[in-house]
């Protein structure tokens, strides 16, 4: 059981509208969203800065950044939801999904631009800086707006990972689980 019980319907009108807009048809709201709904202010602020809209990165690039960030922070809840909803849609193979959890940024399953994004996540999560090597690789593949978006995604999903882990949210029934040996 999570540390804060998720809200149950009926939700406040603004929250109900947001949940309907965010969730795919027929899929109940995530435990994370329902838990944040306990504080309408937190719910609205998190979604206001959520980067949920289409940005300058492709959906695949966004998902690689999100999956690597949540995996590096040990957030199986969010990683599993994203793998379940997006891995097939963005063409992540089973090997690549697993590589977001445990493989080095230089793993052969990634293209050079994807390796640069993964190195960015690793730099920010592990060292809270971007090394010159990583910056050079990023600059070779991405425009400034794309690099800024990637940095912001790492920060945003750092926050989401803290929420999920701090609240001890149980995995969604359909979510992927970390590969064996990682938890």
> Both 94 and 28 in a single domain?
no
Show pLDDT as tens, one digit a residue, over the chain (183 residues). 889 999 999 999 999 999 998 899 999 999 999 999 999 999 998 887 666 677 899 999 999 999 999 999 999 999 999 999 999 999 999 999 999 999 999 999 999 999 999 999 999 999 999 999 999 999 999 999 999 999 999 999 999 999 999 999 999 999 999 998 765
> Both 65 and 42 in a single domain?
no
The pLDDT score that the predictor gives to residue 56 is 96
102 contacts 179 by C-beta, under 8 angstroms: yes
Residue 86 maps to a domain: yes
The pLDDT score that the predictor gives to residue 47 is 81
Question: Dihedral, CA atoms, 82, 86, 92, 97, nearest 10 degrees?
Answer: 10
Range of the domain at 125: 59-166
The pLDDT score that the predictor gives to residue 1 is 80
Q: For residues 179 and 183, what is the distance between their CA atoms, to the nearest angstrom?
A: 8
What does the pLDDT look like over 107-155, one tens digit per residue?
Answer: 999 999 999 999 999 999 999 999 999 999 999 999 999 999 999 999 9
Taking the CA atoms of 133, 134, 135 and 139 in sequence, report the sign of the dihedral they define. positive
pTM of the model: 0.94
According to DSSP, residue 122 is labeled H
The pLDDT score that the predictor gives to residue 80 is 98
> Both 64 and 32 in a single domain?
no
Q: For residues 154 and 165, what is the distance between their CA atoms, to the nearest angstrom?
A: 16
> Both 34 and 119 in a single domain?
no
Residue 121 maps to a domain: yes
The pLDDT score that the predictor gives to residue 182 is 67
Residue 155 maps to a domain: yes
> Both 111 and 28 in a single domain?
no
**Count of domains observed in the chain:** 2
Residue 173 maps to a domain: no
> Both 26 and 91 in a single domain?
no
Residue 158 maps to a domain: yes
Residue 150 maps to a domain: yes
> Both 25 and 92 in a single domain?
no
């Amino acid at each position: 059981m999570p540390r804060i019980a998720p809200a149950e319907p009926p939700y406040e009108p603004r929250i109900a509208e947001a949940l309907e807009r965010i969730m795919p048809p027929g899929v109940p709201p995530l435990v994370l969203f329902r838990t944040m709904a306990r504080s309408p202010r937190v719910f609205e602020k998190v979604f206001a800065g959520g980067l949920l809209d289409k940005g300058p990165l492709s959906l695949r690039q966004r998902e690689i950044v999100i999956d690597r960030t949540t995996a590096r922070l040990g957030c199986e809840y969010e990683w599993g939801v994203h793998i379940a909803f997006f891995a097939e849609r963005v063409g992540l193979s089973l090997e690549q999904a697993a590589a977001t959890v445990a493989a080095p940024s230089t793993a052969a399953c990634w293209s050079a631009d994807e390796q640069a994004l993964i190195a960015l996540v690793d730099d920010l999560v592990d060292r809270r800086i971007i090394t010159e090597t990583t910056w050079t690789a990023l600059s070779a593949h991405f425009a400034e707006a794309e690099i800024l978006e990637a940095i912001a995604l790492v920060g945003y999903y750092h926050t989401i990972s803290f929420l999920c882990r701090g609240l001890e949210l149980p995995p969604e029934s359909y979510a992927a689980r970390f590969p064996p040996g990682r938890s």
